[in-house]
């Protein structure tokens, strides 16, 4: 058992997977994405899960995957954009180093495009993205150890996060001295 070095959160299209892989490589640790865990366990894509089971059942799968990964993974962990909506997940994240990847709404809309791979944004990508951001951004910010602008190149953002992690005191440095 362990705890992730860092947990990446943010909206769809913020680069959690791409930046997470680059950060893991930079730090020399493993990378894990809870959306990929869900797909592997279900044997199909998230879009198919949502279509067949609905969002409520998907969120149950997501909660289980996130809780398992938080308990097991020792590297960089990327969570699905909506994972932070779950109260039990929020409680678990409060004890972790969490980075919120922030991207301007216009840039997110451009990255997501037609939302073909983002089922929860399908009908009206820009409108649904605005609604999603209004609900989730305050949660992302509240849970984050740091909010990092992620609109630039993935490797640059990863290096910036690595620098923040390197400057962070270890738990031993935060503990009061024992006399």
How many angstroms separate the CA atoms of 79 and 6, rounded?
A: 11
Mean local confidence (pLDDT), 37-55 = 91
- The reported pTM is 0.87
Residue 175 pLDDT > 90 = no
How many angstroms separate the CA atoms of 80 and 62, rounded?
A: 8
45 or 31, greater pLDDT = 31
Enumerate domains of the chain plus CATH numbers: 6-174 (3.40.50.300)
- Residue 122 has what pLDDT? 55
Average pLDDT, the chain: 86
Burial class of 56 by CB neighbour count within 10 A (0 to 12, 13 to 18, 19+): exposed
Q: Which residues of 90-121 are buried (b: 16+ CB within 10 A; e: fewer)?
A: eebbeeebbbbbbbebeebbeebeebeebbbb
Mean local confidence (pLDDT), 28-32 = 97
How many angstroms separate the CA atoms of 146 and 37, rounded?
A: 25
Residue 84: pLDDT band by 50, 70, 90 thresholds?
very high
Residue 1 pLDDT > 80 = no
- Residue 41 has what pLDDT? 94
Mean local confidence (pLDDT), 108-115 = 66
């Amino acid at each position: 058992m362990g705890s992730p070095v860092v947990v990446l959160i943010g909206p769809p299209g913020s680069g959690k997977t791409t930046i997470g892989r680059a950060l893991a490589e930079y730090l020399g640790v493993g990378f894990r994405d809870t959306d990929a865990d869900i797909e592997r366990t279900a044997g199909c894509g998230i879009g198919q899960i949502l279509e067949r089971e609905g969002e409520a059942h998907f969120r149950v799968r997501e909660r289980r995957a996130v809780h398992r990964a938080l308990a097991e993974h020792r590297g960089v962990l990327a969570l699905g954009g909506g994972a932070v909506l779950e109260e039990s997940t929020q409680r678990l994240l409060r004890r972790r180093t969490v980075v919120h990847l922030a991207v301007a709404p216009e840039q997110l809309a451009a990255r997501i495009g037609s939302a073909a791979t983002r089922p929860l944004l399908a009908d009206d990508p820009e409108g649904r993205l605005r609604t999603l951001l209004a609900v989730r951004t305050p949660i992302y910010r509240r849970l984050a150890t740091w909010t990092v602008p992620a609109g630039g190149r993935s490797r640059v953002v990863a290096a910036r996060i690595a620098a923040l992690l390197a400057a962070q005191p270890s738990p031993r440095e935060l503990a009061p001295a024992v006399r």
